Amino acid sequence: MDYTFSFITRLELLEKEAHTGLYLPEEIVAVLPKGRLRARGLLNGVTPFNLAVQSERSGGKFFMVGGPLRREAKIKQGDEVHVQFSWIDNEYLEIPEELQAALEQDDEARAIFETFTTGKKRGVVHYVTSVKNVDSRIKRSLEILYKMRTGQLYSDREGR
């Protein structure tokens, strides 16, 4: 895949010093489209990512890089990182095959899943894909479908 943007930056502590991120250079920030943005790309030419552009109160724009992505990319705070990316549709969501297969076999859960916002679907996908073992992904897919059917998702609780 050809990427629209490419730059080198350092993985830095963010304003609140609780998370790490990759700041977008000013020349990219200057041409950002308006609204919520998601990007798909590579870190250091090998580690794929699909992230939203975040904003700081000070005006900085960045990709938040959590622990799992840092470990997968083998990067730590202060490391230089080559970032390549292109914008993708905010509604784009890659459903893992384990979850897709489970949804195809469970009409009730699939109907519920289709009513979810993209953000809520993304949370379900993240839950399934946050483990690497295929058997665990299958188990999580079945577990999350059960919770969807029975109204036991965390987001189904009162006040959420």
Give 12-61 pLDDT, tens digit per residue: 998 777 789 999 999 999 888 888 889 999 999 999 999 999 988 888 89
Residue-wise DSSP of 22-68: EEPPHHHHTTPPSS--EEEEEETTTEEEEEEEEE-TTS-EEEEE-HH
- 159 has pLDDT over 90: no
Structure-block tokens of residue 56: 């700081």
Judge if pTM exceeds 0.75.
no
Q: 100 is written with which tokens?
A: 């897709």
Domain definitions of the chain by residue range = 5-88, 97-153
Assigned superfamily of 5-88: AF2212/PG0164-like (2.40.30.100)
Three-class SS state of 1? coil
- For 72-102, the pLDDT digits (tens) are 999 999 999 999 999 988 788 889 999 999 9
Cα atoms in the Cβ-side hemisphere of radius 13 Å centred on 50: 12
